[in-house]
Amino acid sequence: MEWILGVGFFVAAACIVQGILLILRPKWDPASRAFDKRLETFTATATGPQQQTGDIKKRRVFSDIPRFNDLLAKISMVQRFDDLVVKARSPLNLGTFLLISCILALSSYLILFILTRGYLIPILFALGVAATPFLYLLLKIRQRAAKFEKQLPDALDLMARSLRAGHAFSGGLQMVAQEFDEPIGVEFMQVLKEINFGASVDQALKNMTTRVDVPDLKFFTISVIIQRESGGNLADILQSIAHLMRERFKLLGKIKALSAEGKLSAIILIALPFVVVFALTILNPKYLQDLVQDAAGKVFIIIALCMMGLGVAIIRKIINIRV
């Protein structure tokens, strides 16, 4: 039982650290800060009436319960969690996710407290369980961003053909919004709505980059902003970006094929100790009792788990090649 709690403690701590790092990524990631600074330089709002209409923003409702919504609106950190809900396009609001997290945390704490009669491990495990709804949102955001990235080259080709046919840039956006399904069709339709409500094209595109974390979309946004300021053939620019994206996808496919063996080896090496411990626990439960009950054995287990986590990080760093 104690080694199971040790594994649960390790998983809960890893989930908490991963969630905090992902939420605070815009603050510590140099690439994100450099992009935001560069994008703000190109999207400086103009003076006069456009300055008043460029900041049009729909007010978010954090919860259907008025008092709870007012309470959440007073907390500045809540906006970061609400950004996850917006990026995942979840039908549920932030208040619902917070209530689900509280229910999961309370129920898991009570169950572990009854089983262990302790306080520290149930609290840490409850915190890890409470983060699962937001980890689900992060998973949905990644899946949505991956699908958006696959659709983007075809969307840019469609916009380039639309521009060559004589349509305006907004006409190309409308064609993409009508011809493509979720997520790129929905996001481009949102850009059109913001433009129709009075926001500038630059600001509407910048808002889309905050909702969808795709590097190629940021390149598209910066290219459009620069072209609108300095001029040039936008159709050729969009077609070039689409071509580069397709070539990058081909290179990524080759890299995945070459690194598949390393990934499989990593999965086997990480899963093997847990499979052996599980088999020994079922076949001979007394075999691991001395290791689990002894104080030095517990230290060795913690050291082994930390070394396995370090090994996973190193292997992932080696096989995760960014293009």
In this structure, is residue 56 part of a structural domain?
Answer: yes
In this predicted structure, the answer to whether residue 158 has a pLDDT above a threshold of 80 is yes
Could you tell me if residue 33 is inside a domain? no
pLDDT recorded at residue 261: 79
pLDDT value of residue 153: 92
How many domains in the chain? 1
Question: Is 65 within the bounds of a domain?
Answer: yes
Q: What is the pLDDT of residue 47?
A: 36
Going from the C-alpha of 198 to that of each of 33, 51, 59, 194, the distances in angstroms are: 27, 10, 16, 6
For residues 276 and 267, the answer to whether their CB atoms sit within 8 Å is no
Q: Indicate the helix (H) or strand (E) that contains 71.
A: helix 66-73
pLDDT for residue 313 = 82
This prediction has a pTM of 0.66
Check: CB of residue 81 under 8 Å from CB of residue 94. yes
The pLDDT of residue 287 is 78
Quote the CA–CA distance of 162 and 169 in Å, as a whole number. Answer: 8
SS3 235: helix
State the pLDDT at residue 55: 47
Task: Give the DSSP H/E element, type plus range, for residue 320.
Answer: none
43 within domain boundaries = no
Position 6 confidence tier, pLDDT thresholds 50, 70, 90: low
Residue 312 lies in a domain: yes
pLDDT of 244 > 60? The answer is yes
Asked if residue 46 belongs to a domain, the reply is no
Q: Which domain holds residue 10?
A: 2-21+52-319
94 within domain boundaries: yes
Note the pLDDT tens digit of each residue in 51-75.
Answer: 433 444 556 777 777 787 788 878 8
What does the CA dihedral 96, 101, 106, 107 come to, rounded to 10 degrees? 90
Average pLDDT, the chain: 79
Q: What is the pLDDT of residues 180-202, one digit of tens each?
A: 988 899 999 999 998 888 888 88
Q: What is the pLDDT of residue 30?
A: 61
Is the pLDDT assigned to residue 140 strictly greater than 50? yes
d(CA 173, CA 83): 24
**218-227 long-range Cβ contacts below 8 angstroms, 24+ apart:** 218/35, 218/39, 220/152, 220/156, 221/39, 222/38, 222/39, 222/42, 224/169, 225/39, 225/42, 225/43, 226/42
Tell me if 39 is assigned to some domain. no
pLDDT tens digits for range 202-227:
889 998 988 888 888 888 899 888 88
